[in-house]
Structure 1
Amino acid sequence: MSANLAPPITLLTDFGMQDTYVAEMHGVIAGLAPNVRVIDLTHAILPQNIRQGALALADAVEAFPDGTIHVAVVDPGVGSRRRAVAAEIGRWRFVGPDNGLLTGVLRRWPRQRVVSLTNPQFFRAAVSRTFHGRDIFAPVAAHWAAGVALDAFGNPLETPLIQLDWPSPTRGDHCLTGQVLAIDHFGNLLTDLTVDLLSTHVPSGAASVTVLVGEQCVGPIVGAYSERPGQLLALVGSHGRLEIAVESGSAAKQLQLGVGATVVVQWSHS
């Protein structure tokens, strides 16, 4: 990235696109940092679904250049005593509520510096207790992108950030057991069984590898959707997670399963 080009700001929310909330955040940023590019990561997180937001954020950040400012607002506690924070984690920067939205990011990259957003100089003049995305998080992100130092926004936060109770797969005798974390737009079941886990635990010389979800046998792990036309299948998706899918269909609808469903990868030796 050019030294004269500021990293972008991304927006992730549960606001949807029917109302003006997202546009208002864009407007605030445009007024303070008109030369900074703003990218809508997603505004389709289910209302108040912090876990879904945390997963989407963690899966997306690696696509962005170092220094990108990710504004994440899934904030059922807005207006309460929950903390508002700005954080440097891994190679990126984050602004949002301290309510677990950064769980997935913190599990994969080291926390660098974090401050509590307490300096109203960098907020909008009038702060609504119901719209911190517009009145606190958007202006802080804009000022940060424009060159304001992190320490200017508030005092360093030395205590741990809130993290969700994040499921961890378990290793059994010739099997790995995980669960469905989310369902994407296509009805694919996204699991917590990552390519790193599979490569670590599933023997390269296994005679057979089979995936089961719920009580349904899906079959072996394939490389592309097209390898099983119209059928249920398992593959490692673009974010490095095992997915259960139906080529040109919806696994969620076909299986009538959702978040929390058990997924097992089992293998046998020759």
Structure 2
Amino acid sequence: MQLLTLLSDFGWQDSYVGILKGVILGILPTATIVDLTHGIPPQDIAVARFQLLMAYAYFPPGAIHVAIVDPGVGSQRRAIAVQTENAYFVAPDNGLLSGVLAQQAIVQAVELTNADYWRSASPSTTFHGRDIFAPVAAYLAKGIPIEALGTPIDPASLVQLQFPLRQLSRNTYHGCIQAIDHFGNLITNFPAAFVQGWSWQLQFQQTRYPGQFTYADVRQGSPIGLIGSHGYLELAINRGNAQAILQAEVGDTIELQMSD
């Protein structure tokens, strides 16, 4: 497989993204590279986790996903590659992969300790994307087996980002906001499957918001609960920004209430 995706907080103003692609193409000129996004807010691992979780399943089996949001670059945090049933992931071990790996069985995981597959045996302490992650991904795409890239690690030791979800009763769950998108929609960690066959509402900051089907089911400027295209329940405002209006943040508690 010669398909690689890139996700980062690098933006487009600087040449960082272009450099990643140059390193990959220098090793594998025939690579196909797809940009998932480079608009992750700086150092925001939670947003990166969710964006990768939303996107990876739309690519063919065997695709290699390179995700670089790395506030711990140059420290003792591990650089890793993970093979799952359907894909490969190359990233820092900081929780960025925790959403994907909750859905995908891990075949094997390695810490990227073999400098033979780095761009330099003395990598920059501030740009592991260029010196470690991009070249490793290119060599994977070129056919180098994942076990050659470094030291095997126990998948259970990988860093997890926690988004608490618990069932209080047959009809009630406590969860949280796991992501906020570009439109200000508040994406919860309640899977859409929870409400199949139920009427439902979200309670946030002591106010209840009934679940509907489309934004247009409420008047412009009114809040609404929806099943998002990503497969989770969300709290939105028709033609408005729920984050700004409700002063919400990732991690805030939210409740799901269901009825027959």
- C-alpha deviation, 1:21, in angstroms: 1.0
- Quote how far apart the aligned CAs of 1:171 are: 1.6
Which of 230, 234, 241 is equivalent to 1:243?
A: 234
1:77 maps to 72
SS across alignment from 2:49: helix
Gaps of 5+ in 1: 1-5
CA contact (8 A) 2:66 2:90 kept: yes
Q: Which residue among 30, 37, 45 is the counterpart of 1:35?
A: 30
**Which amino acid is the alignment partner of residue 245 of structure 1?**
A
Gaps in structure 2 of 5+ consecutive residues: none
2:159 corresponds to 1:168: no
In the TM superposition, residue 159 of structure 1 has moved relative to its aligned partner by 5.7
CA contact (8 A) 1:51 1:164 kept: no
From 241, 245, 251, the equivalent of 1:254 is: 245
1:227 paired to 2:217 = yes
What's the secondary structure of 2:48's corresponding residue? helix
Identity %: 42
- Residue 139 of structure 1 and its aligned partner are, at CA, apart by 0.6
- The equivalent residue for 2:89 is 94
Measured in 2, the distance between the counterparts of 1:146 and 1:216 equals: 54
Whether the 8 Å contact between 1:86 and 1:115 is mirrored in structure 2 is: yes
CA distance in 2, matches of 1:7, 1:227: 44
Residue of structure 2 equivalent to 1:197: 194
| Paired residue type of 2:62 | G
Which contiguous aligned blocks of 4+ residues in structure 1 show a shift greater than 6 angstroms?
none
Say if 1:24 and 1:134, in contact at 8 Å, map to a contact too: yes
Render the CA deviation track for 1:121-148: whole Å, top value 9, x for unaligned. Answer: 2111352111000111001111111111
1:64 maps to 2:59: yes
**1:112 alignment partner, SS class:** strand
Alignment partner of 1:136 is 2:127:
no
TM-score, normalization: structure 2? 0.92
Structure 1 residues 267 and 159: alpha-carbon distance in aligned structure 2, compared to 1, 3 A threshold: closer
Which range moved further: 171-180 or 138-147? 171-180
Per-residue deviation at 1:260? 2.3
CA contact (8 A) 1:98 1:161 kept: no
Q: How many residues are paired up?
A: 257
RMSD over aligned CA atoms reads: 1.7
Q: Distance in 1 between matches of 2:35 and 2:123?
A: 23
Moved more, 63-72 or 38-47: 38-47
Partners of 1:43 and 1:114 in 2: CA distance: 25
Contact 2:201–2:225 (Cα < 8 Å) also in 1: no
The amino acid that maps onto 1:227 is D
Structure 1 residue 226: Cα displacement: 2.2
Deviation at 1:92, TM superposition (A): 0.7
Q: Which residue does 2:111 correspond to in 1? A: 116
Describe the SS at the equivalent of 1:25: helix
Q: Equivalents in 1 of 2:236, 2:94: separation in Å? A: 31
Rounded to whole Å, the distance in 2 between the matches of 1:183 and 1:81 is 30
